[in-house]
Amino acid sequence: MIFPNVRIVLVETSHPGNIGASARAMKNMAITNLVLVSPQRFPDEQALFRAVSALDVVNEAKVVDSVEEAIVDCQLVIGTSARGRRIPWPMLDPKGCGEKVVAESGEGHEVAILFGREDRGLSNQELQQCHFHVNIPTGEAYSSLNLAMAVQVICYEVLQAKLAGAPEQSWDMDYASSADMERLYEHLEETLIQVGFHDPDNPRQLMTRLRRLFNRIRPDQMEISILRGILSSINRLDN
């Protein structure tokens, strides 16, 4: 396996044929780890039929109930997004996405690339769990890509970056996982409420912006421990 720690995550896919076609696109580009979040129809003969020679990818796909479960152990999460957001997020183009995936997977990090529903993509909440968003440029006259096309484009760039030799990167500690970050956000929100800084009834996008901040700086495991230690010290002040 060229990319043992890179997974493609398909969220709530409505047509099983798109699962098979996406699996075929993945295997063409040497990526074989497929995770399905609450697919509407799976297992299904259409998925196997469209997979052609990628039956192994379909048969070994992991099915989970939520995006959180799909990315729980990941240090890098990239979500596909076809449109701009009210609060902009760090963006990658497909080539930059491929280079980042190869560089970080080469460091042993678990990497997930998320693809949303055929009709409406990823939700805002799901996109907020991503460190980066990636957008595939298209012509203005017809900008719609089907799911397997999008998977093919991104997987192609990952393979090309691998073949070209993506720049290496190193860090003294492993990046925090998605689960680590979710625990930090929960602890941070509780503490901000405790000190009177955050009103959950009038949130004003505070937690969304804090998520963007921490996703942008990519804390490592030691930094998360330090931050949570500071929060715990604040929590004890009222005791």
Q: What is the pLDDT of residue 88?
A: 87
pLDDT, residue 168, reads 66
Could you give the CA distance from residue 142 to residue 82 in angstroms, rounded to a whole number? 13
Decide if 211 contacts 185 (C-beta within 8 A). yes
Cα separation, 112 vs 34, whole angstroms: 10
Do 178-236 and 6-164 have the same topology in CATH?
A: no
Contact 131, 107 (CB under 8 A): no
Tokens coding 15: 């047509």
CA-closest candidate to residue 26, choices 62, 65, 56, 66: 56
6-164 placed in CATH 3.40.1280.10? yes
The pLDDT assigned to 1 comes to 75
Fold classification of 178-236 (topology level): Helicase, Ruva Protein; domain 3 (1.10.8)
pLDDT in the model for residue 218: 93
Q: What is the per-residue pLDDT for 170? A: 76
* pLDDT attached to residue 169: 67
pLDDT at 166: 65
Give the start-to-end residue ranges of the domains of the chain: 6-164, 178-236
Give the per-residue pLDDT at 239. 67
Question: CB of 147 within 8 A of CB of 113?
Answer: no
Measure the CA–CA gap between 63 and 70, rounded to whole angstroms. Answer: 9
Per-residue pLDDT of the chain (239 residues; tens, 9 = 90+): 799 999 999 999 999 999 999 999 999 999 999 999 999 999 999 999 999 999 999 999 999 999 999 999 999 999 998 776 778 899 999 999 999 999 999 999 999 999 999 999 999 999 999 999 999 999 988 888 999 999 999 999 999 999 998 666 678 899 999 999 999 999 999 999 999 999 999 988 999 999 999 999 999 999 999 999 999 999 999 66
User: What was the pLDDT predicted at 205?
Assistant: 92
